[in-house]
Structure 1
Amino acid sequence: MLCCLNPDCPNPLNPDGINYCQSCGTLLVPLLRGHYRVTNVLSDEGGFGKTYLAEDVDKLNERCVVKQLAPKVQGTWAIKKAIESFQQEAQRLQELGKHQQIPTLLAYFEEEHYLYLVQEFIDGQNLSRELQQRGTYGEIAIRKLLLNLLPVLQFIHEYGVIHRDIKPQNIMRRSPFSQPKFQKKKNLSSVLGTIEGELVLIDFGASKQLTETVKTKPGTTIGTRGYSPLEQMQDGEAHPASDLFSLGATCFHLMTGVSPAILWTENGYSWTIAWRQYLRSPISNGLGKVIDKLLKKEIRERYQSANEVLQDLSSHLSVPPPSSRASLLRRSLLIGTSILFLGLGGIWYMKDSPLLNPLAESPSSPLKTLNGHSNLVTAVAVSGTSKSVILASSSFDTTVKLWNLVTKTEIATLESYAGSVHSVAISPDGQIVASGNGDNTIKLWNPFTKKEIRTLYGHSSSVEVVTISPDSQILASGSFDGTIKLWELATGKEIATLKEHTSSVKSLAFTFDGETLASGSEDYTIKLWNLKSQQVIRSLTGHSEPVRSVAISPISPNLEFGGILASSSADDTIKLWNLSTGEEIYTFKGHRYSVNSLAFTSDGKILASGSSDNTIKLWDIKTKREIRTYKSLSKEVTSVVFSPDNKTLIGGSADGSVNIWQVKL
């Protein structure tokens, strides 16, 4: 095929062997500037020209990208600025394209009254398309993205250039097998890029040479709303810190699937303060603090250089002794351990990445994988007997699904019409399903009729967790607003609001007698509540990052296993506490990343933990030892629960699947 270069042509593709475009009649150009054969349209630049795919016939038909400038804007100043911007992009690529994560400039010329820029073709896709295909990114992926891109930003800023339009569409990931072999690897971050597909920063059309500041003409802005910071949108100023805000907004979009442009249109920059409420997968406090500082509205409070961000990221990693680095590198290439060179002369060792390194254990394959959700599974819950067990799963796709755990088939889909569903619970008597929702509501459902019973209103922010008392009388809900509400399940009447936490409440658990409630929060604490007095009995501290889950062991005839509270955290640990005294009993360490969910067997002897390291681990409470590790098929484990007979373990995953394992204890 041959592409017509008339920017107004409605159907520019033509078969080989003809001289004039079949659609618009324009004379076709077989070879642009004598050796670029234009074969397809990649994108329309909205009144400024088009971007084409081409082949360089002088280089064995190697693919390249041809950008055409054909501005339709009105006014001499606007046309002049369009030409300046186009020339500037060529100049920036000429200066910066030596870096293997920036496209190389191949040619810049004028032909038939149009300006053309020819650059290296990046075989891959941009992160916006990747987000659509793979779903939201977890912490590991975001950390790797930052570690891959920050050295590139430091490079361009040291050259005195500010990109000014960083967003998912302007970050490409090379196909893993298209890495240029002729370029020397400057750091091991590039080696990792070869494994996963190296990230490339594209579209320098908006970039500016840095003096002390960069300003556009008053009344104009360059950048993208939502991704560009206040100083860039309001005053036309741009600094290195401006690119770092855009990088933070890009990370937010990839983690949540929510476009900052939409939030900016609705709420201005207020979303940057409460960005965590949109998260679809838990992250560590360390990464959260980095994103917080990237997204500071005031530029003086933001990171001032990419190196500063790298330093904060690396402070959460451990550095191997210099003498061991060579052997560590050799080992990493054999077993997939993630070693990150930051391009600054240092080598940082990160915990073994589950995305790259198969676990040393021999993980058991799931007995069954239930696919039906189109987004992250936020919670799973079970109720019933060995002959008839209902499994409920909630998801950010706005639904709750009910499954027959015996036959492993879907029973029904309950559509919340309340935004993302953050949590689900089934009453022990199996009569009611409750969901905590992103629109600040709780919905109650009849699992037999599949009909909504009622909606509960009261929280001022998203409901992060719901749980039901052992006697099926009380519903407890925890919210992003930091409060816990108690509800009469039969009537939906609010009983009380408990206010002691200073941040989002992420997990709740009743004691077996229903008299005490445990709550875990983003404020790093666990609180025990007397439900009669509605007062805090004690506050448990010990975790160094937000508490993700709490679980209470059932009272068993062997009291050694009774009265134990388990808590898990983004600090990668699980702690056991004496429920009566509040004394810390033991700390389990074995997961590599945030431990998101906990569940006891019905006899209280075994604890299951699900983590962002893609594993579920089983722990023996008596011996304090790890029993077994189950490897999730794809992404982070968000929630775990045992079947009533303890023979089945269920795990919800960030990829939307529910995995079922047969447990042999």
Structure 2
Amino acid sequence: MRCCLNPDCLSPQNPDSNKVCQSCNTPLIELLRGRYRVIKVISDEGGFGRTYLAEDVDKLNEWCVVKQFAPKVQGTAALKKAVELFKEEAKQLQKLGEHPQIPTLLAYFEQDNYLFLVQQYIDGQNLLQELRRGVIYDENKIIQLLLDLLPILKFIHERGVIHRDIKPQNIIRRQSDGRLVLIDFGSSKQLTATVHTQIGTSIGSHGYTPMEQMQDGKAYPSSDLFSLGATCFHLLTKIRPSQLLMQKGYSWVNSWQQYVNHNQRNGVSPNVDLDRVLNKLLTTDIKQRYQSADEVIKDLTPQQTSAALLHTIISSSATTQTAKVRNPWLIGAGVLLLLLGLIGYVYSRSQPATRFSQPIKPINITDNPEQSNTLKGHASDVNSVAFSPDGKTLASGSDDKTIKLWNVETKQEIRTLKGHLQWIWTVSFSPDGKTLASGGADRNIKLWNISTGEEIRTLKGHKDGIAAVAFSPDGNTLATASLDNTIKLWNVSTGELIRTLSGHNKAVSTISFSPDGQTLASGSWDNKIKLWNVATGKEIRTFSGHTQLILTVAFSPDGMTLASGSKDKTIKLWNLVTRENIITLQGHTDKVNAVAYLPKIAASKILNNGSLVSGSNDNTVKLWDTKTGKEIRTFKRDSGYIYSVATSPDGKNIASGGSADNIIKIWRLSD
């Protein structure tokens, strides 16, 4: 695909063969500056510029990020001034890129009246994505976050740079080492303010931005510290500061503690007064706020463990180097001892749980990347995949706000469904294969006509994002699970709400109908699984046993067993008659996001009745024999988390979606 570089283009993706954009007729550029092949839009600045993912053809197609600045100014003098400011800021970014937790600036240039920055691509998820995936931030994690980020702020502030837009979306956890990387210093933001002061342009994001920056356009090091405090609040409470700003103005910062769940206050040293630190970060009076990153570090580090101190020492040491610190042994003999102790601790904690006996291999599984099938087309993470009842079509939902339908046999995209305003988290086919249901962060459930791709209707009623949708076996009822702690049952033909099921005290992340359609299972972030009578809406029973939040549930084909996957890295199988945990499957080394049984008829031919597929953040899909508890085979992904798995009706295909290159993988099972 080729990407149009007109920042006003509504549909910039084009086939490789196009010479002009099929949407806006702008000539397409094959290689920007003769070197960078622009692949897709990552973010949009509303016509003022865009950020793109690109390949550097001079570096073996290494990924990079291209930031476009399209100044809307009148006259050559204004444009010349914008270019000068752009170049000055680019030089500053080049110096900042010396820090190991700031993306390196690779190039900056002007082309076709647009200004471009090319920066290092950071492979990882931002903190908002982590939060959306169920990561729980308690006070210990907040302290770790502060100790990782504050040395970066110290580094940039000492060089006269104010970030001005610190928020969870602009902090990425690097996949290679788990360190936090601060992104989006954005010349475009600073130039926007400079060039457009006459129209009152402000820089920052509502809720995270302090009063002096929002009202007066003035920013100081302490302004970034307020934004950092607001970010910590969001991570602790899962409440966007912008919501409280709209309701209460800046007065919300005086009572932020009331929104913090007591479960997030476990295990913090009594010598660390995190409330006091956050109070001082969030004060609206800039004179009473922390004035420097060093002041915050001083209040946090004296009582921290040696491991946390080591994190801070390494980060701070990097700020004094003229190049990236590659060798932590150079920091000193004291740090050397701390590092050895930390390595031993991390290694001992990171070893996989003891597995069952050696995997058996009764079948042939095609898991070689060259032989397995890869579907490409989404512009962001693939959160959900589902096979149609006839197995000929695969649906996928993505963070790019689209649903794609794929021909399973040809591996070609059939069509793209657009209508959701935010990330799509879940998709499901109706039993007759004529309708697709979808839900996501925009709180809406949509029903789609598969044959035409048209939207049938939108169901509204949930107060937070839709985590899961499921059709009853007869196709008459749609169940939806939401982060608002409820489940709703809908009449598919009329779109009317039948009833709301309430009982979980935290987000409901997963649901599944029993094969006979009489029972609905739900899993929640409250670590509990509930069974519901579909006809009456009454709760039947609750299963407890997982130590962390439940992310996925699935009924076995015979309806006698329920499988559940959790953030605690295990899969539990529950006997629905005796109500006992039959067995716990251990082998994943990170949270289990998805489980799916092989169909009964297929399983009896290929494996046995009761084979289970699971997907995890450890980058693997695993196949299990649930009768013995043994792992049959592991499908290894090159990188990225596995968010969803699905099995075809004939049991011969397994599909998975996740964060690795925004792709879908299909593996073939054969006798």
Q: Structures share a fold, TM > 0.5?
A: yes
Given candidates 38, 44, 48, the residue that maps to 2:85 is: 44
Q: Which residue of 1 is the match for residue 667 of structure 2? A: 661
- Residue by residue, what CA displacement relative to the aligned partner does 1:438-478 show, whole Å, maximum 9, x if unpaired? 22221111101211111112212221110011121211001
Q: Which residue of 2 is the match for residue 458 of structure 1? A: 461
Please say which of residues 651-660 and 622-631 is displaced more in the overlay: 651-660
**Which ranges of structure 2 fall in alignment gaps of 5 or more residues?**
1-75, 109-116, 186-201, 257-262, 283-295, 312-328, 330-334, 353-357, 360-365, 601-608
Letter of the structure 1 residue corresponding to residue 570 of structure 2: T
Given candidates 611, 626, 630, the residue that maps to 1:606 is: 611
Letter of the structure 2 residue corresponding to residue 507 of structure 1: T
Given candidates 621, 646, 659, the residue that maps to 1:616 is: 621
Letter of the structure 2 residue corresponding to residue 394 of structure 1: G
- Residue by residue, what CA displacement relative to the aligned partner does 1:515-567 show, whole Å, maximum 9, x if unpaired? 00000111111100011221111111111211100011011xxxxxx511111
CA distance in 2, matches of 1:408, 1:287: 49
Task: Say whether residues 1:473 and 2:511 are aligned partners.
Answer: no
CA distance in 1, matches of 2:542, 2:83: 58
Q: Which residue of 1 is the match for residue 576 of structure 2? A: 579
Letter of the structure 2 residue corresponding to residue 434 of structure 1: A
Given candidates 383, 405, 423, the residue that maps to 1:402 is: 405
Deviation at 1:125, TM superposition (A): 9.3
- Residue by residue, what CA displacement relative to the aligned partner does 1:128-181 show, whole Å, maximum 9, x if unpaired? 9879875744659999999798257369989x999995677899x9xxxxxxxx
Letter of the structure 2 residue corresponding to residue 397 of structure 1: D
Deviation at 1:434, TM superposition (A): 0.6
1:150 alignment partner, SS class: helix
- Residue by residue, what CA displacement relative to the aligned partner does 1:318-352 show, whole Å, maximum 9, x if unpaired? xxxxxxxxxxxxxxx9xxxxx99987974441666
Task: Say whether residues 1:511 and 2:514 are aligned partners.
Answer: yes
Deviation at 1:64, TM superposition (A): 7.4
Q: Which residue of 2 is the match for residue 567 of structure 1? A: 564
Q: Which residue of 1 is the match for residue 488 of structure 2? A: 485
TM-score by length of 2: 0.58
CA distance in 1, matches of 2:525, 2:280: 27
1:571 to 1:44, Cα distance in 2 relative to 1, 3 A? farther
1:50 alignment partner, SS class: helix
- 1:144-293, aligned counterparts within 5 Å? 150=147, 153=150, 165=162, 226-227=207-208, 243=225, 246=228, 249=231
2:499 alignment partner, SS class: strand
Answer yes or no: is the 8 Å Cα contact 2:653–2:669 preserved in 1: yes
CA distance in 2, matches of 1:621, 1:193: 32
Letter of the structure 2 residue corresponding to residue 485 of structure 1: K
1:364 to 1:443, Cα distance in 2 relative to 1, 3 A? same
Given candidates 541, 544, 551, the residue that maps to 1:541 is: 544
TM-score by length of 1: 0.58
CA distance in 1, matches of 2:614, 2:639: 17
Given candidates 629, 637, 641, the residue that maps to 1:636 is: 641
Q: Which residue of 2 is the match for residue 36 of structure 1? A: none
1:488 to 1:199, Cα distance in 2 relative to 1, 3 A? closer
CA distance in 1, matches of 2:147, 2:548: 25
- Residue by residue, what CA displacement relative to the aligned partner does 1:23-67 show, whole Å, maximum 9, x if unpaired? 99xxxxxxxxxxxxxxx999828xxx934649xxxxxxxx9759x
CA distance in 2, matches of 1:193, 1:437: 25
Deviation at 1:237, TM superposition (A): 12
CA distance in 2, matches of 1:612, 1:576: 20
1:155 to 1:464, Cα distance in 2 relative to 1, 3 A? closer
CA distance in 1, matches of 2:145, 2:245: 30
Answer yes or no: is the 8 Å Cα contact 1:384–1:429 preserved in 2: yes
1:418 to 1:224, Cα distance in 2 relative to 1, 3 A? closer
Letter of the structure 2 residue corresponding to residue 405 of structure 1: V
Letter of the structure 2 residue corresponding to residue 44 of structure 1: L
1:233 to 1:540, Cα distance in 2 relative to 1, 3 A? farther
2:147 alignment partner, SS class: helix
Letter of the structure 1 residue corresponding to residue 459 of structure 2: L
CA distance in 2, matches of 1:471, 1:592: 37
Task: Say whether residues 1:500 and 2:497 are aligned partners.
Answer: no
Task: Say whether residues 1:299 and 2:286 are aligned partners.
Answer: no
CA distance in 2, matches of 1:312, 1:422: 40
1:270 to 1:446, Cα distance in 2 relative to 1, 3 A? farther
CA distance in 1, matches of 2:492, 2:251: 35
CA distance in 2, matches of 1:443, 1:480: 17
Q: Which residue of 2 is the match for residue 436 of structure 1? A: 439
Deviation at 1:629, TM superposition (A): 0.9
2:578 alignment partner, SS class: coil
Answer yes or no: is the 8 Å Cα contact 2:465–2:482 preserved in 1: yes
CA distance in 2, matches of 1:401, 1:515: 31
Task: Say whether residues 1:368 and 2:377 are aligned partners.
Answer: no
Deviation at 1:407, TM superposition (A): 1.8
Answer yes or no: is the 8 Å Cα contact 1:614–1:634 preserved in 2: yes
Q: Which residue of 1 is the match for residue 414 of structure 2? A: 411
Deviation at 1:628, TM superposition (A): 0.9
Please say which of residues 363-372 and 590-599 is displaced more in the overlay: 363-372
1:139 to 1:252, Cα distance in 2 relative to 1, 3 A? same
2:388 alignment partner, SS class: strand
1:52 to 1:465, Cα distance in 2 relative to 1, 3 A? closer
- Residue by residue, what CA displacement relative to the aligned partner does 1:81-103 show, whole Å, maximum 9, x if unpaired? xxxxxxxxxxxxxxxx9x97699
1:153 alignment partner, SS class: helix
CA distance in 2, matches of 1:663, 1:625: 18
Letter of the structure 2 residue corresponding to residue 659 of structure 1: K
CA distance in 2, matches of 1:222, 1:466: 38
Answer yes or no: is the 8 Å Cα contact 2:520–2:533 preserved in 1: yes
CA distance in 2, matches of 1:547, 1:313: 30
CA distance in 2, matches of 1:270, 1:382: 49
Deviation at 1:193, TM superposition (A): 11
Which has more helix, going by share of residues?
A: 2
Q: Which residue of 2 is the match for residue 379 of structure 1? A: 384
1:449 alignment partner, SS class: coil
2:456 alignment partner, SS class: strand
Please say which of residues 517-526 and 294-303 is displaced more in the overlay: 294-303
Deviation at 1:195, TM superposition (A): 8.0
Letter of the structure 2 residue corresponding to residue 568 of structure 1: G
Letter of the structure 1 residue corresponding to residue 540 of structure 2: I
Answer yes or no: is the 8 Å Cα contact 1:162–1:240 preserved in 2: no
Answer yes or no: is the 8 Å Cα contact 2:228–2:281 preserved in 1: no
Answer yes or no: is the 8 Å Cα contact 2:207–2:230 preserved in 1: no
1:44 alignment partner, SS class: helix
2:536 alignment partner, SS class: coil
